[in-house]
Amino acid sequence: IYSKEDYLQLSTEGDPRDSLRSFTDLSAMEGVTGVYEPVQHHWFHCQNLVDCRSSWIPFSREDSLQLEERHKHGETSGEEEEEVVVATEGRRFDVRLKERRCFAVYWEQPPLEVRRCSWFHKGDKDIFYTPYPEDTSLVLEEAYMMAVKLNDWKKKKIEFPTGETVVLHSPKLMTQQQTIPLKDWISLPSVQSQPRTVKRGLEDIRIELPEGEPDQVDHLVFMVHGIGPTCDIQLRGVVPCVNDFRGASLSLLSSHFKQSQDGTHMGRVEFLPVDWHRVLHGDATGVDDDIQRITLPSISRLRQFSNSTVLDLFFYNSPTYCQTIIDTVASEINRLHQVFLQRHPQFTGAVSLAGHSLGQYVIDLS
């Protein structure tokens, strides 16, 4: 069982328990009654990893159900032409159903692709299943429905223009094969020529759906970062580090205050990042460009990290730039607080400030 964080950190190493060799199990070849049941959809969003890979992360059950209800309502009411916005992830993100994009509310980041998923595939060396595009899933579901109703499972093949062929052997045995030209057969890596496992729905997939967050917020905490653009040993920015803080808080509430949460007597703690680094390192000051011109090209990543970190110390010790840091933190906290109250109008809880490293001194001066 893997949590949401596992989806962002684990590599695509093989899991022998899900090998295609398991298809020799005769139980996979059992017949079907001929009664077709529509597939249950679940919504996912795509996260880009640091090594240029991407990983599909499931929404919580509550968020996925809300997205599915709004999607079906739009289909039946004729509102498909209008943009429908659904708040997810504790109201920190807005999903635009028509665009199939997820936008951050409190901080700047590229929008995330959103997908309504029902069919999935996985290679022999992969750990997690990848959802098919929605149009592909629709084709597969129609082929599956016909096979069930006609009770026809004689290696039913669905070929796609991209070169993939999905074979429906039985309700529990489905594979994807790649059509490979003869001239490329010898040079192609063996892993790409192997069939991939295909699954319908989430029932047979080893996956843990994230827990939904209580809508009630009892405490709001603004977290101010310290020097440099990174906040931990993994060189992550302030947003993912604050996400970890929030996740740890939710875990403690679930493990130590489950009864109070179930009785709606206790809400959650919301943590929001306060970023002041980007203001000083943008085009406004021009200092980064000047430093870059005199930086040696060797070990560039280390030098860039050192430049960004040391510059923040110089900025803080400069009367002019120190005041810029203080003003930026104050205005950013006011902005975040205003946006938070707009999305949580019933909030009457406490508000706190937390600072890491240099951030605690910035809070004192603010």
- State residue 280 phi and psi, 5-degree precision: -80, -20
**Terminal alpha carbon distance of the chain:** 45
Known catalytic residue at 357: yes
Paired residues of 57 in beta bridges: 45
**Rounded to whole angstroms, what are the CA distances from 95 to 21, 63, 82, 106, 108?**
39, 10, 14, 14, 15
- Contacts with 23 (C-beta within 8 Å, 6 or more apart), sequence order: 173, 175
Q: Report how far Cα 269 is from the mean position of its chain's Cα atoms.
A: 21
Quote the crossing angle between the two packed helices 319-343 and 358-365, to the nearest 10°: 80
Active-site residue, selected from the candidate residues 3, 170, 249, 357? 357
347: closest CA among 269, 242, 261, 245?
A: 269
Tokens of 253: 């509430």
CA-closest candidate to residue 231, choices 270, 199, 276, 188: 276
The 196-200 sheet, strands edge to edge? 130-131, 119-122, 196-200, 173-178, 164-170, 156-159
For every residue of 190-224, DSSP letters joined together read HHHHS-EEEEESSTTS---PPPPPPS-EEEEEEEE
**Residues with a known catalytic role:** 357
